[in-house]
Amino acid sequence: MSEDSTAEGTAEEVTLGRIETEVALLMRLGEATRRATGTAEHRVLDRAAYVILRHLDSAGPQNVSALAARLNLDGSTVTRQVSAMQRDGLIARAPDPSDGRGTVVSPTPAGLQRMAAVRAARTRLYGDILADWAPADRDTLADLLHRLNEALETRTRTRR
């Protein structure tokens, strides 16, 4: 192994270590920022309900199995979350038209309203946090985060 390839390997490992650290900090600080934000809009939905409602809003009604698969969660976990959300009036269940024995879940108007409020509050929050960033830098960040999420999702799906 040449000295150059050793240095490249080391530089690559350093870069990957920096990425790992920054992603870990992003997750921790993102949650801490959400909890510390003074407005009630951020707290009208827990994180799981927000993610489920966002997905149902974009993908349409689904059965719990499809929802769990799409969100990379255990079916029993999603069933518990969906039951709590139904009790809170955030989602509704209806017979599955493709399987008479099953049900599909869809967001209620109240669920969509809460989701929209949280989304708007989060958008304003990130607008404040990134106010000093150039628009091109914000676009680049959005593109890179999207690519990272796609890569993570692809890896998760191939590992099942």
CATH number at residue 50: 1.10.10.10
How many structural domains does the chain have?
2
**Structural domain harbouring 8:** 1-36
- Is residue 47, in this structure, part of any structural domain at all? yes
State which amino acid sits at residue 62: Q
Q: Are residues 51 and 113 in the same domain?
A: yes
How high is the pLDDT of residue 105? 94
Q: Are residues 114 and 55 in the same domain?
A: yes
Average pLDDT of every residue of the chain: 87
Q: Are residues 65 and 23 in the same domain?
A: no
Q: Are residues 100 and 67 in the same domain?
A: yes
pLDDT in tens, 44-77: 788 889 999 999 999 999 999 889 988 888 889 9
Paired sense of beta strands 91-96 and 99-107, if any: antiparallel
Q: Are residues 84 and 62 in the same domain?
A: yes
Q: Are residues 22 and 53 in the same domain?
A: no
Q: Are residues 24 and 97 in the same domain?
A: no
For residues 144-156, one letter each, b for 16 or more C-beta atoms within 10 angstroms of the residue's C-beta and e for the rest, the string is eeeeeeeeeeeee
Give the dihedral of Cα atoms 106, 35, 29, 119; nearest 10 deg.
40
For residues 20-50, one letter each, b for 16 or more C-beta atoms within 10 angstroms of the residue's C-beta and e for the rest, the string is eeeeeeeeeeeeeebeebeeebbebbeebbb
Q: Are residues 24 and 100 in the same domain?
A: no
- Is residue 149, in this structure, part of any structural domain at all? no
pLDDT in tens, 74-110: 889 999 999 999 999 999 999 888 877 888 999 999 9
- Is residue 139, in this structure, part of any structural domain at all? no
How high is the pLDDT of residue 154? 86
pLDDT at residue 15 is higher than 80: yes
- Is residue 156, in this structure, part of any structural domain at all? no
Q: Which residue has the higher pLDDT, 50 or 43?
A: 50
